Amino acid sequence: MNSVTSVDRQMWTSEDDKAVAISRALAADAVQKVGNGHPGTAMSLAPVAYTLFQRFLKHDPTEPAWLGRDRFVLSCGHSSLTLYIQLFLSGYGLSLDDLKAFRTAGSLTPAHPEYGHTKGVEITTGPLGSGIASAVGMAMAARYEKGLFDPESTTSLFDHNIWVIASDGDLQEGLSAEASSLAGTQALGNLKVIYDDNRISIEGDTHVSFTEDVSARYRAYDWNVIEVAALADGNVDRESLEAAMIKAESHHDAPTLIRLKSVIAWPAPKARGTSKSHGSALGVDEVAATKIELGLDPAESFIAPDEVVAHTRKVIERGQAARKAWELEFATWQSANPDRATLLQRLQKKELPLGWEKSLPVFSSEKEIATRAASGKVINEIASVLPEFWGGSADLGESNNTTIEEGHSFLPASSLMKDADPFGRIIHFGIREHAMGAILNGIALHGLTKAFGGTFLVFSDYMRGSVRLAALMDIPSTFVWTHDSVGVGEDGPTHQPIEHVASLRAIPNLAVVRPADANETAIAWREVITRQKPAGFILSRQNLPVLDRNVYASVEGVAKGAYILKDVDGTPDVLLIATGSEVQHAVGAQLILNEQGIKARVISAPCVEWFNEQSESYKEEVLPSGVRARVSVEAGIAQGWRELIGDAGVAVSLEHYGASAAAGILFKEYGFTAENVAAAALASIKKAGK
């Protein structure tokens, strides 16, 4: 490893020992002060985190977003003090007062690390397994970006590591198993995981439920596994750990798992090794006794001597020196690679090429097409102009239409699979929906590229935790969910989503997009790419009519979430609000009602969340408050529609599971026809008293 990527490790001194002792005491004090939290793991992991931040991690605390930095993921987010204390000691801007405010309202030190809230926090963690799974995404993103900027590997500028600290709980979650399996297949040599094997969780000894040989499991995943035993007194064997970390740094052909034996809450005399120390304050007497064990004054709280802080913050000088060396080499690279440098600059600014949207296809109304198929065509056109755009699906590429033609499979150079390319654009997630979502989050957090992942809508349940985290972090993860209704037909109720669209709309900050036809799909993709926010597409399996925009309103209305697709003269008698494949039935109902002298306005509502963002005047224009007769039409449960249709409204919905039969039969049997929508309109008009 050359000077740009290596970290200058000084000789370990007594000052470092003191800093580790203080880190342990600060963890105990912070939890004791607030009266709740997780002191034990932060205490035992203090030497681990300190060694990482001071001696291995390539970072500059004065430039937390430095492109060349390593990434650190605290997968066991409940042990947030493990991170906060090192951010304080390293000089990221956290103060001793911030540690004193741990887990209190408005503090920079919330219970779990929150992305975008505290400098130095790369990802929101807490739901176990999610951190390590997203770290896999970060490692994949780093390799893909290497392909964009240095595929010939002429420099180490774009080579960095993803370091993770994970717990027993993380490795018990199926999510971590899914992602770790894929990481081995991908031979992600830039992924380094330190597994804190302390054998304690809330219910006590983890062997009540977790007894497999984790090392053997990870070797079976094709990981490089290094085991580090604890010292005889139970303390972390820091020297052996450092030796293992050096080996991990030099191993580039596979991800590394360092299995570290530790004793939770070490060196607390009574609390060490107990489940109580996992999630409860130690108590005043035990905190004092622990400080005596550490050689600190038990009468003092939040000890942080100036000389110790000055010592730990020398990491700033080392980090700045590494960054400046990197910047010198970067300037040389820029001069030698002007086109790639221009691309990088654009991606760092989160800009799009001028006129990129002109590549989007326009679909003819002469031929029906499923919105999943239309989406596939749009994806390929976007890929032709945005090199940062890549993705795939959970083993459903041909069904989801998420394959980038000629994109090659994202697989390591060592792979024997056909079409393998370490910088390929097609991600094969395997049948791992939850991991796919977490990996997409990791890619988005890494910062430069735009990735998408697809599966059937009914399986969005499997990945909901990852989708929720994307929305919580407000990152541009893009989910493609196809086979959106009983239109799945003969596959039957196990594959027919009923409650899923409403359930996804219940996630705050997630745009749920269900386009009515191919052209709405194209504009929706444009909006998702432009907005750079978390979003999920809901797409049809079956072919749908492509609306003739010479007859119907401009498809540009999609950008506002809901728009008047087909209006009437004067004030409408009833509003027909539909999404996706049911818009065609609202259009048909309008014709039926027109023959009866009833004026029905048809509104396409592909994204309720975007519509809610619009001005009150626009919302009133589309849904005039004076028109109480309203009908919602969507092949799923009606939950959520009452807000738009009101007390006089009628929902044409599906409140039970489907059946195995042809799609056309099911739609007719369940009332998704123009005739039934027209009947619902008459019922709503009656309820409204007109």
As annotated, the active-site residues are 433
| Position 316, amino acid | I
Alpha helices for 267-415 (secondary structure H)? 276-279, 284-293, 306-312, 314-336, 338-348, 371-385, 397-400
- Where b means 16+ CB within 10 Å and e means fewer, 121-153 reads bbbbbbbbbbbbbbbbbbbbbbbbbbbbbbeee
Q: Note whether 684 and 631 are within 8 A (CB).
A: yes
**For the chain, first and last CA: distance in Å?**
79
| Position 12, amino acid | W
Per-residue tokens: 265: 């809450």
Measured CA to CA in angstroms, residue 347 lies from 57, 76, 118, 344 at distances of 24, 31, 23, 5
* CA–CA distance, 227 with 213 (Å, rounded to integer): 12
Tokens 């080499």 locate to 329
SS3 label, residue 362: coil
Cα 550 from chain centroid (whole Å):
40
The CA radius of gyration of the chain, in Å to the nearest whole number, is 28
* CA–CA distance, 20 with 13 (Å, rounded to integer): 11
Q: Note whether 244 and 205 are within 8 A (CB).
A: no
Q: How many CB atoms lie within 10 A of CB 683?
A: 16
| Position 226, amino acid | I
Q: How many helices (H) and strands (E) does the chain have?
A: 27, 20
- Evaluate the CA torsion angle 131, 238, 52, 29 in order and state its sign: positive
